[in-house]
Amino acid sequence: MEVNTENIVKQFLYQGEPVAQQFPALHQSVYGKPLIYFDNAATTQKPYSVIHAISDYYSTINSNIHRGVHYLSQKATEAYEVSRNTVASFINARSSSEVIFTKGTTDGINLIADTFGSYAVNEGDSVIISAMEHHSNIVPWQIMCGKRGATLKVIPMNEAGELLMDEYEKLLDETVKIVAVTYVSNTLGTVNPVKKIIELAHLNGTPVLIDAAQAVQHISIDVQDLDCDFLAFSGHKMYGPTGIGILYGKEEWLEKLPPYQGGGDMIKTVTFKGTEYNDLPFKFEAGTPHIEGAITLKSAVDFITELGMDEISAFETGLLHYASTQVREIPRVEIIGNAIAKTSALSLSVKGVHPYDVGVLLDKMGIAVRTGHHCTQPVMDFYCIPGTVRLSFAVYNTTDEIDRFTESLQRAINMLV
Amino acid sequence: MEVNTENIVKQFLYQGEPVAQQFPALHQSVYGKPLIYFDNAATTQKPYSVIHAISDYYSTINSNIHRGVHYLSQKATEAYEVSRNTVASFINARSSSEVIFTKGTTDGINLIADTFGSYAVNEGDSVIISAMEHHSNIVPWQIMCGKRGATLKVIPMNEAGELLMDEYEKLLDETVKIVAVTYVSNTLGTVNPVKKIIELAHLNGTPVLIDAAQAVQHISIDVQDLDCDFLAFSGHKMYGPTGIGILYGKEEWLEKLPPYQGGGDMIKTVTFKGTEYNDLPFKFEAGTPHIEGAITLKSAVDFITELGMDEISAFETGLLHYASTQVREIPRVEIIGNAIAKTSALSLSVKGVHPYDVGVLLDKMGIAVRTGHHCTQPVMDFYCIPGTVRLSFAVYNTTDEIDRFTESLQRAINMLV
Amino acid sequence: MTINEKQDELIEEFEYLTDWVDKYENIIQIGKELPLIDEQYKQDKYLIKGCQSKVWLYPELRDGRVYFTADSDAIISKGLVSLIVKVLSGFSPTEIRNADLYFIDRIGLKEHLSPTRSNGLLSMVKQIKLYAIAYDSSLLNR
Amino acid sequence: MTINEKQDELIEEFEYLTDWVDKYENIIQIGKELPLIDEQYKQDKYLIKGCQSKVWLYPELRDGRVYFTADSDAIISKGLVSLIVKVLSGFSPTEIRNADLYFIDRIGLKEHLSPTRSNGLLSMVKQIKLYAIAYDSSLLNR
Ligand SMILES: Cc1ncc(COP(=O)(O)O)c(C=O)c1O
Ligand SMILES: Cc1ncc(COP(=O)(O)O)c(C=O)c1O
């Protein structure tokens, strides 16, 4: 693949300024070198708008929600529900009662694995995941299958890191009760054909959960167009605060599923004899939620919307192509994951060099990358490698940073071989 | 009860200044009246130290933890574990691996109800809770008992709002697999004799979970002295951020229990065949945790420690006595909950007046109280009332505020009868 | 008087009450004018969901117009429902379902329309509109 | 040389390396001096837990002194374990278990002692101390 690096945008501008200026954490030195942050798939940095929204929340309307008649509580409740509405529009949900605030992607997937398991999975049934899932989209299904006597089936992939759709079709039989796949692989960068995956599952009468942890910050998502039944993502990977995430679910499914956690706010009436559960989305939000996180997730969504998701996608794809072209020039370096459809994550393997060594040296040169299995051990097993060096991009990264990265990588390799 | 109001401290001083100055949200007017915040049992306001710690975190070391070799990740991981250690000392846990970061009290109780349920509860077994539990310490046990075919037994209370210990002893038989009681009632203010409750349960070979959501900010807690097996509380009720809580568990129990959620960070190795779980405390922390919340919970604990828990307890008890004495002077007002041992929460009922009406009018006079069932419907059923008007105190409240409250309450009652 | 004229009348009445407590004093007064629901209709069927207090609302169609009676165990809720009944009672189902209740915001009660579950103005309005729609489509003709 | 003299020697050696990359260059060099573990001992039994890379460490008691051989699949981990082996190998179990490894902090490797699970210096030190304790209490005499 030959990429014309001429057309690549060097940096993303926001109101005429480099967007990086919105991110205080980027303007620091580590070990005396200016920081380059390429660990965005793990978590992104936060813009001032989000950080200020948090301080503002705690300095003004901080209060518990939903139950108070007093001013602060009303204001906080309103802001909480406005944020829910913002997220609902962002992913084009039919209604905001389909949008549940969770702790993060992992929490959302566990919620569905547990409740869907009780509702619909029995001895002899099966669940389909894929070969490139994050542990968070493997272990909850393993636990659930263990409890329910069901089997976990895995869609295999090819060397390039693309799912084998033929094999997927073969796996789809009447035992399959749910399919759970990632939209974008956090290790390989592969963008999976989730729309097709959902379509095929629905032909089999099977609902689909999409792990959008690595998609929602890079690709515009329309849950109605995808027609997914569930979709989970995390705030902290999309410029938002930690400890908050979203689980989208089709109303008809969420109505049917039993509640997950019990507690305040998710009930209508409680007696010691029994409990009547609340309406959606509250049925799935037990206890005091992460009010700060939920309210200020709106600022993160607004930030993305203001930059424009299409512009973000185009820019980040440009960075990915630029970086891929550059690293291919370096002897010994191999790209792990060569799917045709890719976004934002670039995994590298250096012949004869342990990824940990590369990570440590790059760190000392001021560059934060992630090394290891990226919570996708089965992917490492597939390629028979101990881990990769992964760069993952966000809007504030630049081609200059990639240039410094390639120089540094070259220097590290020279030290190590 | 005659209280000598002469000796009551009017306000808590911190470095010679009213402690309220540390809390930005307290310095605002609502409906043109200076805000008085008496809804602290729902959630407390946050001191500058916590708010600034949050901004600092996002402006400097923000990063995903535990997996990264790079500088930010190391720093964030360190801060996260330092906070865990701080919490461990705060409650005097034997080891920090007994301290698990959760979403809040509700999350912690659900974690134990679910995992303990799978581990130890079977058909015909039973669980003991009390008559004054918060829904968060009722519904998880109802759900679990429903799944496991077990029975929920309830320790009754007297009119004053004190548990009947004789009845408790009678309930303790060999079917009882776990006892879950609140340390302090959020509605009645009762401080339960939890040490005695634990002792009796242990004589029966039964472990005990303590709901410390309303205790940890008011009473010094020593889990080794209490000898509780599990203890749960929330950050947001102790001057800390939302979305974070603590579950303490004795190591021997936590080792035995199966994991709760599956995902990244809680595993050692994952293959599609099976999964080896991580050591404590990580086994129970699946997915990216609420890093900001966990790290800055330390600032909240430090704030409390600096003020001194004994000083806080003494001051708040003073406020409670002062307020109780004042409201008794108002015709039609009755205190709901007259236990001998009480702290911080004062529930009122006004003869012939709906608590909602009182709440709305007080709000318009600038006073935030909570009205309703406070997520303890069974308590309301016990007293045959639709709800109460609840004041709950924190370190920044003052006797002057209580004076303004009593005047306003009197005015509201005049309008309503 | 049309629905909007009734709304305007209320807006004017509240305009001079600048203090919030006075506003609520007035709401309490208006509550006293509420045509009370017959005790026999104080059933769960006529209870409005989403209130911290209980509000019962009973609709009746007479000569093509809907008349409401109501009550609440809380005085302020009674005042709130009374405001709405004042504005909407005695109009045709079509008029009611099409009504734009701008007065709520204008007299400063917008907070009661927020999706919190502690108060029920939103639920009251929703319920009334549902009744109107039902009558309009003859689903509930008696 | 005592353990502390060995530590001081290392501290001096690193003192002049102000750039971090140079420090690591030196760690890599020191790794080349590591007495390598016999291939037959590269078993899970001798693997140190808590490393992103694999580190094998094999202890041997000869004439009352413990000698270590080791290896790693990562060059920097090899350097790190080599540093520790350099300092502690050839001393008595008692000396080893009582050693205060202040050099780690002083040469700027304290970060590797943090309780993260991505690197294993802490685990290496712990494992060596465990071996020393075991020998000391004759639990592992062969
Ligand atoms: C006694 C008690 N237990 C449990 C809870 C639940 O705490 P959270 O909502 O923070 O999970 C509360 C607070 O509402 C409480 O007062
Ligand atoms: C593809 C994918 N799924 C799930 C997760 C888990 O997200 P979280 O840790 O925020 O719960 C991640 C992030 O680590 C991911 O990359």
Contact, A181 vs A155, CB < 8 A? yes
Q: Give, for ligand 1, the residue of B136, B221, B373 to mutate: max count of ligand atoms closer than 8 Å to Cβ.
A: B136
Residue D33's domain comprises: 3-140
Summarize the confidence of residues A81-110 as an average pLDDT.
Answer: 98
**Model confidence at D117: pLDDT above 70:** no
Which token pair is B258?
């199966």
For residue B247, CA distances in Å to A8, B231, B303 come to 50, 6, 20
User: Which chains does C contact via 3+ CB–CB distances below 8 A?
Assistant: A, B
State both tokens at D61: 């008691």
> Measured in whole angstroms, how far is the alpha carbon of residue C4 from the centre of its chain?
14
CATH architecture of A51-305: 3-Layer(aba) Sandwich (3.40)
Which helix (H) or strand (E) segment holds residue A372: the answer is strand A370-372
Q: Which of residues 10-39 of A touch D (CB under 8 A)?
A: 31-32
Number of domain units in chain C: 1
Residue range A172-190: mean pLDDT, rounded: 98
Helices B399-416 & B309-328, crossing angle to 10 degrees? Answer: 30
Provide the residue count of chain D: 142
Total length of chain C: 142
Residue C85 to chain B, least CA–CA distance (Å): 20
* Interchain contact, C76 vs B357, CB within 8 Å: yes
Candidate from C1-10, D35-44, D123-132 with smallest mean pLDDT: D123-132
Q: Which CATH number characterizes residue C114's domain?
A: 3.90.1010.10
Closest CA to D28 of A237, A189, A415, B59: A415
Evaluate whether A151 touches A178 at the Cβ level (below 8 Å).
no
User: Does position A5 have pLDDT exceeding 60, yes or no?
Assistant: no
pTM of the model: 0.96
- A105 pLDDT more than 90: yes
CA distances for A237 relative to A101, B377, C131, angstroms: 15, 39, 46
Contacts for B169 with CB less than 8 Å, ≥ 6 apart: B200
| D76 CA to centre of own chain | 12
At A174 the three-state DSSP class reads coil
Sequence-distant (≥ 6) Cβ neighbours of residue B132 within 8 angstroms: B157, B161, B163, B182, B185, B187, B188, B190, B192, B376, B378, B379
pLDDT average, residue stretch C29-34: 96
For residue B188 and ligand 1, the question of a CB distance below 6 A is answered with no
Q: What is the DSSP letter of A33?
A: E
Q: Which of A234, A344, A370 to mutate to test the pocket of ligand 2 (most atoms within 8 A of CB)?
A: A234
- Residue A212 sits at φ, ψ, to 5 deg, of -105, 20
Q: What is the pLDDT of residues A125-136, one digit of tens each?
A: 999 999 999 999
Q: Which fold has domain B5-43+308-416?
A: Aspartate Aminotransferase, domain 1 (3.90.1150)
C71-113 confidence digits (pLDDT tens): 999 999 999 999 999 999 999 999 999 999 999 999 988 776 6
Q: Does residue A73 belong to the interface with chain C, where contact is any CB pair within 8 Å? A: yes
- Taking contacts as CB-CB distances below 8 angstroms, the residues of chain B near C23 are 364
Give yes or no for a contact between D91 and D66, defined as CB atoms under 8 angstroms apart.
yes
Output DSSP code: residue A67: S
Using an 8 Å Cβ cutoff, are A153 and A127 in contact? yes
Residue D122's pLDDT band (boundaries 50, 70, 90)? Answer: confident
User: Are A135 and A376 in contact, with CB atoms under 8 Å apart?
Assistant: yes
- pLDDT at residue C49 in the model: 73
Q: What is the pLDDT of residue C78?
A: 94
DSSP 8-state code for residue A205: T
Residue B267, chain D, CB below 8 Å: the answer is no
What whole-number distance in Å separates Cα of residue D8 and Cα of residue C125? 81
pLDDT at residue D69, rounded to an integer: 97
Q: Answer whether residue A80 shows pLDDT above 60.
A: yes
Q: In which band, very low, low, confident or very high, does the pLDDT at B2 lie, cut at 50, 70 and 90? A: very low
User: SS3 of A382, please?
Assistant: helix
CA nearest neighbour of B260 among B60, B118, B416, B374: B118
Does A69 sit within 8 Å of C117, measured CB to CB? no
Q: Quick one: pLDDT at residue B69? A: 83
Which uninterrupted H or E stretch holds D4? helix D3-15
Question: In terms of DSSP bridges, do strands A151-155 and A176-182 run parallel, antiparallel, or are they unpaired?
Answer: unpaired
- End-to-end distance of chain C based on CA atoms, in angstroms? 27
Residues of chain C in contact with residue B353, where contact means CB-CB under 8 angstroms, are: 75
Q: Where are the domains of chain B?
A: 5-43+308-416, 51-305
Q: Is residue A9 predicted with pLDDT exceeding 90?
A: no
Q: Where are the alpha helices (DSSP H) in A329-386?
A: 355-364, 377-383
**Using only C-alpha atoms, what is the Rg of chain D?**
14
Strand arrangement, sheet containing A208-211: A99-102, A245-249, A230-234, A208-211, A176-182, A126-130, A151-155
Residue B325: per-residue pLDDT: 97
pLDDT, residue A299, reads: 98
In whole angstroms, what separates CA D46 from the centre of its chain?
13
What are B183's two structure tokens?
A: 């340390």
* Contact between residue C102 and residue C87 where contact means Cβ atoms under 8 Å apart: no
Average pLDDT score over residue span A265-293: 91
Which protein residue's CA is at the shortest distance from atom 14 of ligand 2? A42
According to DSSP, residue A128 is labeled: E
- Ligand 2 atom closest to the Cα of residue A375 is 14
H or E stretch covering A14? strand A13-14
The answer to whether residue A94 scores a pLDDT higher than 70 is yes
3-state secondary structure chain B: CCCCHHHCCCCCEECCEEHHHHCHHHCCEECCEECEECECCCCCCCCHHHHHHHHHHHHCCCCCCCCCCCHHHHHHHHHHHHHHHHHHHHCCCCCHHHEEEECCHHHHHHHHHHHHHHHHCCCCCEEEEECCCCHHHCHHHHHHHHHHCCEEEEECECCCCCECHHHHHHHCCCCEEEEEEECECCCCCEECCHHHHHHHHHHCCCCEEEECCCCCCCCCCCHHHHCCCEEEEECCCCCCCCCCEEEEECHHHHHHCCCCCCCCCCEEEECCCCEEECCCCHHHCCCCCCHHHHHHHHHHHHHHHHHCHHHHHHHHHHHHHHHHHHHHCCCCEEEECCCCCECCEEEEEECCCCHHHHHHHHHHCCEECEEECCCCHHHHHHHCCCCEEEEECCCCCCHHHHHHHHHHHHHHHHHHC
The pLDDT of residue C116:
57
Beta carbon of B130 within 6 Å of any ligand 1 atom: no
Place of tokens 């959902």: A198
More confident position, A296 or C142: A296
Q: CA–CA distance from B190 to each of A67, A354, B392 (Å)? A: 22, 60, 13
**Ligand 1 lined by B136 (C-beta under 6 Å):** yes
The 10s digit of each residue's pLDDT in A22-33 is 999 999 999 999
Q: In a 10 Å sphere around its CB, with 0-12 CB exposed, 13-18 middle and 19+ buried, how is residue C129 labelled?
A: middle
Residue B189 neighbours by CB under 8 Å, 6+ apart:
B161, B320, B337, B339, B342, B343, B344, B345, B346, B347
Average pLDDT over residues B132-161: 97
Select from B246, B190, B250 the least CA-distant residue to B216.
B246
Which ligand has the minimum distance to the alpha carbon of residue A213? 2
| Residue A416 at interface with chain D, using a CB cutoff of 8 Å | yes
ipTM over 0.90: yes
Mutate to test the interface with C, among B30, B354, B416 (most CBs of C within 10 A): B354
Interface touch D76/A415, C-beta < 8 Å: no
Nearest ligand by distance to the CA of A188: 2
Q: Hey, is A134 helix, strand or coil?
A: coil
**pLDDT above 70: residue D13:** yes
Residue D142 CA to residue D133 CA, distance in Å, equals 15
pLDDT at residue number C113: 65
What six digits make up the tokens of D129?
A: 């101390």
Mean pLDDT, residues A324-352 taken together? 97
A345-350 sheet: strands from edge to edge: A333-336, A345-350, A388-392, A370-372
Cβ within 8 Å, pair C28-B365: no
- The mean-pLDDT minimum among A270-274, B142-146, C25-29, D6-10 falls in A270-274
